[in-house]
Structure 1
Amino acid sequence: MFRPLPVFIGLRYTGAKRRNHFISFISAMSMAGLVLGVMVLIIVLSVMNGFDRELRQRILGMVPHATITAAYGTMTDWQSIKSKVEAVPGIEAAAPFIDAQGMLTNQGQVKGVMLYGIDPELEQRVSILDEHMESGQLTDLKPGEFGIVLGEILARQLGAGIGDKVTVVLPEASINPAGVFPRLKRFTVTGLFAVGADLDASLAYVNIEDAARFMRISEGVQGLRLQTTDLFAAPRLAWEAAMTLPGRYYVRDWTQTHGRLFQAIQMEKTMIGLLLVLIIAVAAFNIVATLVMVVTDKQSDIAILRTFGATPGMIMRIFMVQGCVIGLIGTGLGVVLGILGALNVASIVGWIESLLGIHFLSPDVYFISYLPSELLWQDVVSIAMSSLLLSFLATLYPAWRASRTQPAEALRYE
């Protein structure tokens, strides 16, 4: 089978045993460096993608993608407004809400809380709250019974459980014949939820009718929570929905409430990726060192090839082939090991935890207790292409030096 001469000789040089074992060692180390760099980069980026996915699904599954609230007063005819909003393409569902900031007290413990009044049936269409109920059900929030659903962390901090009564205090004063008192009401805990994020320590839910009665809202609701098909289109869709409504409304979306968190995650992923690329760059520098030593070791061979008519370009291609083969094998092995590691990182970490008897991600500290991973093929392709490009660039200088070898000088002392 015909092969171009530079490819044939370059492959022979790559597979041949060397007289200088140190060169073989450096060549093996440069290939191992590429394998390690590519593998680690794929695994680490997959883990960061996993954390990003968990945050997106859990936090943005609890908070609304967008909200539309009345500019003045309340939405008295929210049912018709809801129908108009849901008719906008891209908006899956809308649900009414009433919210307020306040405090929860129980057994001498006081905690700040964001209190939401919701319709239990409609809320299931715009939130994952019902999927993460640890105790009780969201439908237990029946109007007139003044039940409340607490986050698991918040309930633990207050020392409250199912059936216990907690006091909700709003930062508003009530004036009666006895004087001025803060507005407060006793609610019965009917359920606990746990999404595994800091939301478990700051959110509480009550029936929307109970919330309206407690906050003295005579009619209507404060606004609508929106669920969109495309998370990143939520700001545009919310404005489009608001423009279809008569009157004035305020629009808020998740980028205003939690956008900075996801920007920080993306920046961290980019910076860690750039730092880990340095591992591949170091391996590429090892390829430079390997080829420089190979060129020095093969001075006589290069001179003989030149006397047989090999051009400088052919000599250059021979050593470029040798360096590219090292990069191709190292990158290929790194990609295979990285994909296997990314797909099994959770089970591998679990096995190490059981072997050592420790827990790397304690559920009391972190919002998830396992190591998530999401393998994105575009990451794999970009990492592999970057590694191959660095490997190719690393061959240019040694190959150029080999092409500059003068036969007479190289064979003078042979």
Structure 2
Amino acid sequence: MFQPFELAIGLRYTRAKRRNHFISFISLISMLGIALGVTALITVLSVMNGFERELRERILGMTSHATVAAFEGGLEAPQAVAELAGRHPDVLGVAPYVEGEGMARRAGTLSGVLLRGIEPSQEIAVSDVGDHMVSGALTDLEAGAFGLVVGIELARALGLAPGDKVDLMIPQASVTPAGLTPRFRRFTVTGVFEIGMYEYDRSMVYMHIDDAAALYRLGDRVTGLRLKLKDMFAAPRVSREVADLLPGFVYVRDWTQQHANFFRAVRTEKIVMFVILSLIVAVAAFNIVSTLVMVVTDKQADIAILRTLGVSPGSVTMIFIVQGALIGLVGTALGLAGGIGLALNVETLVPALERLLHQDFLAADVYYISDLPSELHGSDVLKIAGLSLVLGLVSTIYPAWRAARVQPAEALRYE
């Protein structure tokens, strides 16, 4: 089988048993260093992709792709506005809502909450909360019944269960013979939901939109409309087009505006982690430089003989480039195998490790997400593999150049 001369000699040098075993050890360390760096890069970026996906889905499952609201005083004629917004072909669902802040009280225990009044029959078209009910259902909320659906963490904090009573106070005062008192109303818990994000499970409560409007004395007005779109990544464009359809003083905001800083921070963190972990691969590539420099020193006599036989300096350069590139290729292949395997199984390995050590790595009351999601992107794998191979190849240039400069007469003088 035909093999280029340089490739054949380079592979022979790689397979040959060296007199200096230290060189073999450094070569092994270089391969393992590259493999470790590639594995770490693939795994960490996959986990960060998973976090970004989970955060986006859970946040948008509770909020909306876009919202329509008035500049002040609440949105009037919400049904007419909803019909106009629903005419856009990219709008899948429209639902009105009333939103505000308040305080929940039961048996002397207080907790701040975010109140949201919804129309249960329309809410399922724009929100996923109905799919995460632990007990009860959103449809159990009826106008005038003053029912309440609470998050599971809030239920645990206040000791609530379906059928229990809880007082809700809002930061608006009522005039009574005793003076100004906070406005409050007693509600009955009809259901409990669990989204998986502590922030929402601990603070969000749902009630019927008519009860919320009565509590806040809005009359026929609502806080705004929530929209669900066919493509959430087209939200900026669709929001502008929907705004053009609506008359009056209203504004439309999409999720990229509401959570722009948060997702921008996630992307920035991903870039920073890529740069930091790439240094592991860079350090391993520097090991290739030291390995090949020692090989060149060890093989000076062989290089001199090859040169006296007519081998050109360029061919000598290619011999050592082949040898170094092989180290980088093997290390990259091992890293790809380890990184892809770990990224695809991290969601099962981490819970098993938590059970083994009896330790929660991601406490629910500290982190947005209490599990460790992973999403492997082919583009990330290609970028990491390309970076590793390029660094491995670049690290061979200087040692190969030194090998090409070996003078046969000087190298063979003491042989």
Q: Name structure 1 gaps, 5 residues minimum.
A: none
Whole-Å separation in 2 of the counterparts to 1:355 and 1:116:
40
Mapping of residues 61-80 of structure 1, within 5 Å: 61-80=61-80
- Match of residue 105 from structure 1: 105
Instruction: Output the CA distance in 2 between the equivalents of 1:81 and 1:22.
Output: 77
What displacement does 1:253 show?
2.8
Whether 1:21 and 2:21 are equivalent positions in the alignment is: yes
DSSP 3-state at the match of 1:175: strand
Q: Is the 8 A contact 1:37 1:334 kept in 2?
A: yes
Partner Cα distance (2:391, 2:408) in 1: 30
Describe the superposition over 1:271-296 as per-residue Cα deviations: whole angstroms up to 9, x where unpaired.
Answer: 12211111101110010011000001
Q: Which residue of 1 aligns with 2:397?
A: 396
Bigger CA drift: 172-181 or 271-280? 172-181
TM-score (norm 1): 0.96
Determine the structure 2 residue equivalent to 1:410. 411
- Cα RMSD, aligned residues only: 1.7
- Whole-Å separation in 2 of the counterparts to 1:149 and 1:250: 29
Secondary structure, aligned partner of 1:113: strand
Secondary structure of the residue aligned to 1:227 is strand
* Letter in structure 2 aligned against 1:41: L
- Contact 2:328–2:389 (CA<8 Å) still a contact in 1? yes
Structure-to-structure mapping, 1:13-412, within 5 angstroms:
13-197=13-197, 198-363=199-364, 365-412=366-413
CA distance in 2, matches of 1:304, 1:89: 77
TM-score by length of 2: 0.95
After superposition, what is the alpha-carbon deviation per residue over 1:321-371, rounded to whole angstroms, capped at 9, x for unaligned? Answer: 111111111101110111111111122223333333433334454444432
Cα distance in 1, alignment partners of residues 175 and 254 from structure 2: 36
**Separation (CA, whole Å) in 2 of partners of 1:303 and 1:188:** 92
1:59 counterpart letter in structure 2? I
Please list the CA deviations of residues 67-117 of structure 1 after superposition, one character each: whole Å capped at 9, or x if unmatched: 111235444432232122122233221111111122111111222221111
Distance 1:351 1:216, change over 3 A: closer
The question of whether the paired residues in 2 share the 8 Å contact of 1:107 and 1:159 is answered with no
CA contact (8 A) 2:7 2:322 kept: yes
Q: Deviations for 1:178-203, whole angstroms, at most 9, x for unmatched residues? A: 43222111111111111121111221
Letter in 1 for 2:403: A
**Greater CA deviation, 343-352 or 277-286?**
343-352
Task: Tell me the equivalent position of 1:7.
Answer: 7
For structure 2, the 5+ residue unaligned runs are none
Q: Return the letter of the residue paired with 2:10.
A: G
Query: After alignment, is 187-196 or 81-90 more displaced?
Result: 81-90
Amino acid of the residue matched to residue 175 of structure 2? I
Contact residue 74 and residue 219 of structure 1 kept, 8 A: no
Letter in 1 for 2:111: K
| Identical residues among aligned pairs (%) | 56
The DSSP-based 3-state class of the residue aligned with 1:29 is: helix
Letter in 2 for 1:393: V
Deviation for aligned residue 1:239: 2.4
